Structure 1
């Protein structure tokens, strides 16, 4: 590399050190100058040292870089040992950040500059987010942490072991694809559940409704209906939450279609988008037309963790049954059989039908037929949730939700007819 390139890379190494040093210096700004392990100058020099060491490697030998890194690590170890004798804070964050600064400085000289800069920004962000990260960790329950590990288990360990080939009638059941669907749905549901847990206590019913559509709009509807049954004054704001959950579900259907059969996105985008927009407008109308005394900041109970292994296995079994049901009904009744299976599936679950139809569209099921089947399942499921609002809640909740959901289904049906 020429001189200009060398100086460019050294400047990046220096900039990385300054970035880390700025964050660490701000973090320790209240400490006396002599009490800090490292400040902005130390970090800047460490980044520059990494860059120069990387440059010297090009004219000497790789062992030189290892020797400098080992010397820096030894110096930090001594510094840490001296600190532990006079300070109760045994954190290693600053020491690790210094080592990372040196390594990224060397990468700036020897590797891709963009990669080094990207890693530095992400690392600095992690350093700056100490308090929010600790706060989020403090809010996580043990069973939720275990659920995250279970998600890793079913996706990273179990999924690669399954055979990627069809079994059963018409080779309908593919273990790999079935379990991949379980992983996707469980991941979306768990993301929504965590969002409720992290912000629900602050935003209450509205956050529950918004993120409940990702976790499970049916269980969200049931939880809010039960809340209204015990606290009738919350009916207006609960209705907003129920409709929000249903509206997010329509967008969730588009996400699943994009993952499992991208060709379905085009015919579904208009009806699902119109249904989501109509639902959001309906939620806004309920909010504006009702009094504001029903707001609550309490966290909503009753939305179960969606990542129990039993739940994942149950969804996998339901998906397999729906796949077989659609196959046999279509074989016996043709297109009408697909629509019948969609209606029956919509009573309990929309995700399984969406994934099943997506797989069939990849074969010999017409694109328009698949879109209509998914709409039927969504419409039936929406009607079921309206019924839950009325039966499990009360008339004040149920009538508000029913009016909006009737408009949602009508708007979706009209847009589907125009699109198809």
Structure 2
């Protein structure tokens, strides 16, 4: 028990409490290094003493009552509040960061004495890292658009609030509709899309069409293809560079589908890894060839104004509805026509959405659909979707641009088909 700890253990824990105070005090002292002596709310020595005080109060509470530690924290809070009130009298824009950090130092000092030392030390390091990132975090906040903040909140609602409340059992024909798994699919696809959007928002406009294609494939390769094709329509000189972005977006789609499929059925990793891996690698090589063939462009813009935030709540709900239709369609067509019915659904789904079909087939393969048949259906859907994106590039971006993209995609589809045939 802690109240029976020997002197060595006690001094180790008090040393950690002191070290936590010194660490937080060092960061706060450096932050206020240009302030005049005596004008700082708390510096290195104050933080070190508060950390040690937290440890000692925790030790004393072992021999008196846990209430002692609570009253000590309350007394420190009142002292800090008075000091803050005195300071704010002449400065209406004074923050509370140092005061909160001081209270946190006391709490971590107590944890170092009473609880897990590793947790106390790790928490102190995380607190210092957070304090030191002030300018970076404020810069991010300044760059966030209103609809992006709304999207982040929507992601939190659908994942943290709604998902845990849904039942984990099948409903409908054959128990096909599992509310928890359906909504988890919505969260997964929306989260991947939002991650891709954020990455494209941060780096795409500065780095170029290639980075935009990589991140756009994670968000939505179809919308990325449409956006880049529209740019080519506005300036045909960008065609060679933007074709690289379109092909990269398509290559990333193969890898994304592989990840989504294996998340819902781990056994699909083997049957899917070869065809989708070969198709993705072929796409990357093809994009490299297009990049080498393209002449340097003075205007390699990748502003991607045509690519919007993919995490609107309506988009997530629409995906859920499409997934339900695909699940029911797959169930009934397979019931009526066997594996051939699954292939029909796969081909039709590839015209609009690949993720819904991938999730549907992956769930079926956990029960009674052969893994090889599931892999063929997913590859078929991705192949149809790839052909659709090639046609978009041709129709929207023009003949030269479309032929560049379709040339690579034809090789990609041939490689995927050959891999499926050899592995069957």
Q: Same fold (TM over 0.5)?
A: yes
Size of the aligned set, in residue pairs, is 420
Structure 1 contact 236–294 (Cα < 8 Å) conserved: no
Task: Show structure 2 runs of 5+ residues with no match.
Answer: none
**Aligned with residue 15 of structure 1, among 15, 19, 22:** 19
Does residue 3 in structure 1 map to residue 7 in structure 2? Answer: yes
Paired with 2:282 and 2:109, the residues of 1 have a C-alpha distance of 53
Paired with 1:60 and 1:67, the residues of 2 have a C-alpha distance of 12
Q: What residue number does 1:380 align with? A: 384
Question: Deviation at 1:295?
Answer: 4.3
Q: What residue number does 1:116 align with? A: 120
Does residue 67 in structure 1 map to residue 67 in structure 2? Answer: no
Q: What residue number does 2:340 align with? A: 336
**Aligned with residue 33 of structure 1, among 19, 34, 37:** 37
Q: Describe the shift of the 1:76–1:301 C-alpha distance in structure 2 as closer, same or farther (beyond 3 A).
A: same
**Aligned with residue 137 of structure 2, among 122, 133, 145:** 133
Question: Deviation at 1:294?
Answer: 4.6
Q: What residue number does 1:219 align with? A: 223
Does residue 354 in structure 1 map to residue 368 in structure 2? Answer: no
Question: Residues 91-106 of structure 1 correspond to what in structure 2 (within 5 A)?
Answer: 91-106=95-110
Q: What residue number does 1:143 align with? A: 147
Structure 1 contact 205–300 (Cα < 8 Å) conserved: no
Structure 2 contact 262–362 (Cα < 8 Å) conserved: no
The answer to which of 392-401 and 106-115 deviates more is 392-401
Task: Show structure 1 runs of 5+ residues with no match.
Answer: none
Question: Deviation at 1:125?
Answer: 1.6
Which SS does the other structure have where 2:95 is aligned?
A: coil
Q: What residue number does 1:275 align with? A: 279
The answer to which of 378-387 and 60-69 deviates more is 60-69
Question: Deviation at 1:94?
Answer: 1.0
The answer to which of 355-364 and 294-303 deviates more is 294-303
Q: What residue number does 1:185 align with? A: 189
Q: Describe the shift of the 1:263–1:104 C-alpha distance in structure 2 as closer, same or farther (beyond 3 A).
A: same
Paired with 1:109 and 1:36, the residues of 2 have a C-alpha distance of 28
Paired with 1:295 and 1:265, the residues of 2 have a C-alpha distance of 41
Question: Deviation at 1:322?
Answer: 0.8
Question: Residues 165-204 of structure 1 correspond to what in structure 2 (within 5 A)?
Answer: 165-204=169-208
Structure 1 contact 166–172 (Cα < 8 Å) conserved: yes
1:227-264 Cα deviation digits (max 9, x unpaired): 11101111122112112211221221122123211221
Does residue 392 in structure 1 map to residue 396 in structure 2? Answer: yes
Paired with 1:253 and 1:8, the residues of 2 have a C-alpha distance of 51
Paired with 1:400 and 1:204, the residues of 2 have a C-alpha distance of 18
Structure 1 contact 220–245 (Cα < 8 Å) conserved: yes
1:57-100 Cα deviation digits (max 9, x unpaired): 22222122112211221221122112112234321111111111
The answer to which of 18-27 and 93-102 deviates more is 18-27
Alignment RMSD: 1.9
**Aligned with residue 327 of structure 2, among 323, 327, 342:** 323
Question: Deviation at 1:297?
Answer: 4.8
Which SS does the other structure have where 2:167 is aligned?
A: coil
Does residue 291 in structure 1 map to residue 267 in structure 2? Answer: no
Paired with 1:146 and 1:379, the residues of 2 have a C-alpha distance of 34
Paired with 1:396 and 1:40, the residues of 2 have a C-alpha distance of 66
Question: Deviation at 1:298?
Answer: 5.2
Paired with 1:295 and 1:264, the residues of 2 have a C-alpha distance of 43
TM-score, length basis structure 1: 0.94
Paired with 1:280 and 1:80, the residues of 2 have a C-alpha distance of 58
